[in-house]
């Protein structure tokens, strides 16, 4: 493995003296260069669908911090848009979609294999990045998990506790499961195309997994992740998959075995020592510094970063935040985190 990229070595199970590092949402509004590029694009969706500019913002944090991985700049809601949902963003409020709450809405959606025309610019972004990234930087593709994407498609927006999706899940099981299946198949199609365009790793973001409890978590968070991972492994056996069931709590412990993912990303609510004992024995873990430290900085950032690196030092680990970096983060605090991670094994 000596010649492999650090992130790929960790995903293959190697224990490294210094963990590879990247951040969720590392290309984002906290960076002045990102804000300038987004202004040039005109709006968020125009930026997502402009391959040259999307590649540029993906590269910006690599140039600035030298992260071990770059993650494709896109959005999880491009898949529902490609399936035929209307999608727009309200300034200061976030995404809005046309809703799927009855059979007629579902019947109007496109088949899972009809998404490529709309998503072609995303694949072109990956091809550009494959040619422009440093040789030691891993290229990560991603998609939203079916449950999380479904919550937006059902409610038409983000909701505090995903109540509309739970109501449909309990009130019209057949429609809910048909929607989840359509999203699952589209996600397999989408991620497979990302791999063919150059992604070396793919990540499944289940941002709202934590609102599923008990058997519902197993059926609607774990099972779709297992289906997606199995389909991708059958076609692309050498491509690692990272799963992120945010809010899974104790369910993190069995997630890798149940789904087949190569790495489990942890949110910041999980104690690193517990995860080292209960999650890391099943494979690589990723995480899990609180994004708040990117705002507040100082010695607390240094101490917590060192604590996490030490907790996971006996197994394969990718250093990351427990969720995406926020727009109010200080770029200097990101540099402090990077310097701390890379000095922790020696300090």
Show the tokens assigned to 256.
């890798």
User: Is residue 152 among the annotated active site residues?
Assistant: yes
Residue recorded with tokens 């917590």: 304
- What letter does residue 208 receive in the DSSP assignment? T
User: Is residue 342 among the annotated active site residues?
Assistant: no
What sections of the chain are H helices per DSSP?
6-11, 32-41, 44-48, 51-65, 78-82, 103-107, 116-132, 146-155, 163-171, 173-197, 215-217, 223-235, 252-259, 272-278, 293-296, 298-311, 331-344
Q: What is the CA radius of gyration of the chain?
A: 19
Spot the catalytic one: 38, 127, 306, 342: 38
User: Is residue 123 among the annotated active site residues?
Assistant: no
Spot the catalytic one: 30, 49, 65, 152: 152
Q: How many CA within 13 A on the CB side of residue 258?
A: 18
Name, in order, each residue with C-beta under 8 angstroms of 175's C-beta and a sequence gap of 6 or more: 102, 103, 106, 168
Backbone region of residue 212 per phi and psi (left: phi > 0; alpha: psi in -120 to 50; beta: other values): beta
Closest by CA to 313, choosing from 276, 274, 270, 262, is 276
Using alpha carbons, list the distances in angstroms from residue 250 to 162, 274, 278.
Answer: 21, 10, 9
Q: Rounded to the nearest 5 degrees, what angle is found at the Cα of 279, between the Cα atoms of 276 and 285?
A: 80
Spot the catalytic one: 35, 64, 75, 181: 75
Spot the catalytic one: 9, 25, 169, 182: 25
Backbone region of residue 265 per phi and psi (left: phi > 0; alpha: psi in -120 to 50; beta: other values): beta
User: Is residue 29 among the annotated active site residues?
Assistant: yes
Q: Are 53 and 47 in contact (CB under 8 A)?
A: yes
User: Is residue 75 among the annotated active site residues?
Assistant: yes
Three-class SS state of 142: strand
Which residues are part of the catalytic machinery? 25, 29, 38, 75, 152
């Amino acid at each position: 493995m000596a010649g492999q990229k650090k992130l790929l070595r960790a995903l293959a199970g190697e224990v490294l003296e210094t963990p590879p590092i990247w951040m969720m949402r590392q290309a984002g509004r906290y960076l002045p260069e990102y804000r300038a590029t987004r202004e040039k694009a005109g709006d968020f969706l125009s930026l997502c669908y402009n391959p040259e500019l999307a590649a540029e913002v993906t590269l910006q944090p690599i140039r600035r911090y030298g992260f071990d991985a770059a993650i494709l700049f896109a959005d999880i809601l491009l898949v529902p848009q490609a399936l035929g949902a209307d999608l727009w963003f309200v300034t200061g409020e976030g995404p809005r979609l046309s809703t799927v709450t009855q059979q007629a809405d579902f019947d109007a959606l496109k088949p899972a294999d009809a998404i490529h025309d709309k998503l072609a610019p995303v694949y072109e972004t990956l091809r550009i990045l494959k040619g422009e990234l440093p040789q030691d930087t891993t290229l990560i593709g991603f998609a939203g998990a079916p449950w999380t994407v479904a919550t937006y498609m059902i409610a038409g927006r983000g909701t505090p506790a995903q109540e509309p999706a739970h109501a449909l899940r309990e009130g019209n099981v057949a429609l809910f499961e048909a929607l989840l299946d359509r999203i699952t198949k589209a996600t397999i199609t989408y991620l497979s195309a990302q791999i063919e365009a150059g992604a070396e790793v793919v990540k499944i973001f289940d941002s709202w997994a934590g609102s599923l409890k008990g058997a519902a978590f197993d059926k609607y968070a774990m099972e779709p992740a297992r289906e997606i991972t199995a389909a991708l492994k059958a076609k692309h056996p050498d491509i690692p998959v990272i799963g992120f069931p945010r809010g899974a709590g104790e369910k993190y412990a069995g997630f890798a075995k149940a789904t087949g993912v190569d790495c489990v990303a942890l949110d910041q609510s999980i104690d690193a020592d517990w995860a080292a004992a209960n999650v890391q024995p099943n494979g690589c873990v990723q995480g899990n510094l609180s994004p708040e430290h990117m705002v507040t900085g100082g010695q607390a950032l240094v101490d917590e970063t060192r604590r996490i690196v030490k907790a996971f030092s006996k197994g394969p680990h990718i250093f990351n935040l427990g969720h995406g970096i926020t727009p109010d983060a200080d770029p200097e605090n990101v540099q402090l985190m990077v310097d701390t991670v890379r000095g922790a094994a020696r300090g």
